[in-house]
Amino acid sequence: MDTHLSLILIITFLFLLSQFIIQKVRNYLYLPMGICFFLIGFLLSQPFTDYFNELTGLRLPNLIINTNKNSLELLIFLILGMIGFTVGFKFKLKEFVSVSSEQINLSLIDILLSILLLGGFSFIAFLFYINHLLQLQQIILISLIVGIVFFTLSTKPLELIKEKFTVEGKNFSTLSFVPVLNNFISVLLIGVVFSFLNQNTNNTLNLNYFERFIIGGLIGLIFGFMFHFFIGREENENKLLVIITGLILIGTGVALYLTISPLLINLFLGFIAGNLFKFREKVFDLVKKFENIIYIILLIYAGALIKIENPIVFLTGIFIVFILKYFVKLFIGWLAYKLSDDKLSYSHSVGRGLNTQGIVAIGLLVNFYQISDHPLTDIVFSVMTVTILITDFISPKILKDLLIDLNEIK
């Protein structure tokens, strides 16, 4: 039998088996089904393919990493651009009028303490145990990335719960708002950090890190205003989809030319489009349609990048990061509650709902993997990605229990 056909049949069988198992627990955990696609990506990864070939004596090829690698990376860059656009588009300034200052404070405290505590822990660990592998500047930047990634949040678990229950209350409202602000700031900060981390500067333009960041942001804003002025009254969904995809594609190409993150340029494009476009809901519906598709592709790609060179270090890292992250989030919720003037805005246990992550976090990590070239790239990416997916696996159940305890699920 042809090796490619053998691989496809094996992967199909394992995918159906994982789908069956996860479907059985879905009703209990309210589980996002994307984890199946991550497993598919992992089964297609180079380390797993090599292990399987050694175990079975077959010669199955690696379909993702070794086949059309450049084309695949360009597709992933485009997907990252779409994520940036989505994050920017959801950040609507008018909605901040109805948001309480306590909700904004919770978001800002989560951002600050995630960087200080989770990023700070990473910095200490890197500094004392592997400082011989990296320069101090690299350690600082990677530690910042850890903190930034871990304050990104997802509303998907809330949406899953809302599909099954009647949910209403201030905690639910708070947990629906915080991801919007957190994710916008996370992509903005990642754009800054990646501008410094990426050493492949464009010699033709002879621009430094700061100049590339500023130019990228300005181009994103210009594209956003172009979107508004030229098609601000367009209602046809097909035309809108083509135009949005085209602008994202151009923005991503500019980002690659400037060697900055495609997340950044498209963040500003989405921000202007989301705040000025007249028929915002039509674009929002389009955004939700391609959000699931890009998440699936991104998860498959992320799974294929996972490398486990030392299982003990890998599993220990996941355990430490997961536990530390969970209790840091509990502390953040408790501290924000204690510092708030209005104790009715949210509960002291709201931190239990700050563990939900998803497409933005995975996107930031994939972008980090693409531009980072140092000995820690594989282990940092693998540990953080799997930790996030484990969190996504259990967070809907934790979130549901929290809302039940707070009497916000009817």
**230 falls within a domain:** yes
Give the residue with greater pLDDT, 204 vs 243: 243
Residue 61's CB is within 10 A of a number of other CB atoms, namely 14
Are the beta carbons of 206 and 261 closer than 8 angstroms?
no
> Please, what is the end-to-end C-alpha distance for the chain in angstroms?
56
Pair 306, 175 in one domain: yes
> Has residue 226 got a pLDDT over 60?
yes
> What's the Rg (C-alpha) of the chain?
21
Pair 61, 81 in one domain: no
Q: Residue 23's domain spans which residues?
A: 1-67
> Has residue 65 got a pLDDT over 60?
no
How many domains is the chain partitioned into structurally?
Answer: 2
How far is it, in rounded angstroms, from Cα 175 to Cα 191? Answer: 25
Q: Give pTM, 2 decimals.
A: 0.86
Pair 32, 90 in one domain: no
Pair 44, 176 in one domain: no
Pair 235, 322 in one domain: yes
pLDDT band at 90 (very low <50, low <70, confident <90, very high): confident
Per-residue pLDDT at 18? 59
Pair 52, 170 in one domain: no
**249 falls within a domain:** yes
Pair 74, 54 in one domain: no
**410 falls within a domain:** no
| 168-219 pLDDT tens trace | 888 888 888 899 999 999 999 988 888 776 655 554 567 777 777 888 888 8
Per-residue pLDDT at 29? 46
Q: At what angle do helices 237-258 and 209-231 cross, to 10 degrees?
A: 160
Pair 44, 120 in one domain: no
> Has residue 69 got a pLDDT over 60?
no
| 98-127 pLDDT tens trace | 788 888 899 999 999 999 999 999 888 888
Among 18, 51, 67, the domain boundary falls at 67
Per-residue pLDDT at 372? 78
Among 67, 98, 114, the domain boundary falls at 67
Give the residue with greater pLDDT, 257 vs 328: 328
Exposed, middle or buried by CB within 10 Å (0-12, 13-18, 19+), for 223?
buried
Sign of CA dihedral 109, 383, 361, 38: negative
| 261-276 pLDDT tens trace | 888 889 998 888 888 7
Pair 48, 139 in one domain: no
Query: What is the domain-level CATH number for residue 279?
Result: 1.20.1530.10
Per-residue pLDDT at 1? 45
Report the run of H or E that residue 185 belongs to, with start and end.
helix 170-197
- Residue 260's identity, in one-letter code, is I
pLDDT band at 384 (very low <50, low <70, confident <90, very high): very high
| 13-56 pLDDT tens trace | 666 665 565 555 555 444 455 677 787 777 777 766 766 666 66
Per-residue pLDDT at 125? 85
> Has residue 238 got a pLDDT over 60?
yes
Pair 299, 185 in one domain: yes
What does the mean pLDDT of the chain come to? 79
Pair 119, 94 in one domain: yes
Pair 59, 73 in one domain: no
Give the residue with greater pLDDT, 334 vs 168: 334
